């Protein structure tokens, strides 16, 4: 079987690469299946604290769905493909590791949707983003209509989705779609540096914070605050809370154990 998604372990980091450079890393059922399998595998690795997702080659993170596959599909097949994309995106969004999208080029359609599911997005200067599905007579099917509006606001999301137009990295940064824009040659090192910084923190506390933030997207402020209080209580029951505070008072680096 062709390895269309690769995994490189660099504890405390994992580098996951969409690996179809000749087709600009176009996404099809097999890509999603392999991505899902790799993310599930990584989620069980205690020594991995952050996952960097990127695309192979010089041009694209992922230039959308594989239209050669989609053109002959019916409604049920399309829904199955959408389900695979949602499953992969759900893992990126909810796995206990922090996920960082290293956007090295075109992130279109499903590629853009995968970046939206990551916790943090860092773009190379030549990166471009779009949800162009309406130009093909369909709509985004991997979470684009949901996550983009939550990230940049409904008005901007509607403009991107209704026109299908591409935006460049600087515009993506201006509207809050990406966290940072860096020279392409610095992209992976920037992601690694950020990933290692996050990995040096108390990983269970980072996961609790991630859970609290993700929960806030689905519930009202009152219930979100209650959820935060509950998770704060969990944090105070951990070894790392005691170690972190004692290290602070003793003016020494903490030695977190992730529980």
Strand partners, 102: 122
pLDDT confidence of residue 245: 94
The pLDDT, as a whole number, for residue 66 is 78
Q: Which residues are catalytic?
A: 113, 133
Give the C-alpha separation, 132 to 139, whole Å: 8
Can you give the pLDDT at residue 64? 85
Q: What percent of the chain has pLDDT over 70?
A: 100
Where are the extended beta strands (E) located within 109-187? 120-124, 128-130, 167-168, 180-182
Q: Are 105 and 61 in contact (CB under 8 A)?
A: yes
Q: What is the pLDDT of residues 223-256, one digit of tens each?
A: 999 999 999 999 999 999 998 999 999 999 999 9
d(CA 178, CA 205): 24
The residues, ordered by sequence, that sit 6+ positions from 251 with a Cβ below 8 Å of its Cβ are none
Q: 143: alpha, beta or left, given left = phi > 0 and alpha = psi -120 to 50?
A: left
**What DSSP character marks residue 104?**
-
45-104 pLDDT, tens digit per residue, is 999 999 999 999 999 999 988 787 788 888 998 899 899 999 999 999 999 999 999 999
Residues 17, 94, 195: CA angle, nearest 5 degrees: 50
Q: What is the pLDDT of residue 106?
A: 98
Q: What is the pLDDT of residue 68?
A: 77
What are φ and ψ of residue 65, in 5° steps?
Answer: -70, 160
Write the DSSP string, 16-79: EEE--GGGTT-B-HHHHHHHHHHHHHHHT-TT--EEEEEESSSSEEEESB-HHHHTT--HHHHH
User: Residue 132's beta-bridge partner residues?
Assistant: none
Question: Measured in whole angstroms, how far is the alpha carbon of residue 111 from the centre of its chain?
Answer: 10
Q: For the chain, how long is the longest CA-to-CA vector?
A: 65
Angle value at C-alpha 189, between 9 and 66, nearest 5 degrees: 70
Compute the mean pLDDT over every residue in the chain, rounded to the nearest whole number.
95
Beta strands in the chain (DSSP E): 5-10, 13-18, 50-55, 60-63, 98-103, 106-108, 120-124, 128-130, 167-168, 180-182
Q: Which helix (H) or strand (E) holds 216?
A: helix 203-216
Q: What is the pLDDT of residues 91-149, one digit of tens each?
A: 999 999 999 999 999 999 999 999 999 999 999 999 999 999 999 999 999 999 999 99
* Residue 244 pLDDT: 93
């Amino acid at each position: 079987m062709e390895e269309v998604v690769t995994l490189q372990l660099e504890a405390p980091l994992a580098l996951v690469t969409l690996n179809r450079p000749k087709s600009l890393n176009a996404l099809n059922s097999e890509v999603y299946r392999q991505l899902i399998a790799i993310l599930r595998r990584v989620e069980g690795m205690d020594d991995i604290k952050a996952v960097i997702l990127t695309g192979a080659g010089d041009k694209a993170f992922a230039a959308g769905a594989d239209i050669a596959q989609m053109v002959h599909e019916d409604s049920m097949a399309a829904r199955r493909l959408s389900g695979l994309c949602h499953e992969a995106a759900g893992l990126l969004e909810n796995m206990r590791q922090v996920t960082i999208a290293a956007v090295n080029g075109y992130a279109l359609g499903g590629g853009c949707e995968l970046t939206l599911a990551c916790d943090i997005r860092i773009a190379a200067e030549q990166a471009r983003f779009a949800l162009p599905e309406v130009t093909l007579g369909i709509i985004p099917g991997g979470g684009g209509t949901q996550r983009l509006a939550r990230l940049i606001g409904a008005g901007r999301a509607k403009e991107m989705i209704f026109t299908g137009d591409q935006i460049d990295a600087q515009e993506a940064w201006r509207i809050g779609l990406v966290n940072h824009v860096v020279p392409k040659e610095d992209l992976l090192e920037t992601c690694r540096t950020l990933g290692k910084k996050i990995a040096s923190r108390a990983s269970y506390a980072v996961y609790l914070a991630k859970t609290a933030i993700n929960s806030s997207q689905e519930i009202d402020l009152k219930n979100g605050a209650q959820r935060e209080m509950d998770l704060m209580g969990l944090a105070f029951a951990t070894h790392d809370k005691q170690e972190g505070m004692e290290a602070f008072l003793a003016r020494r680096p903490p030695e977190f154990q992730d529980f």
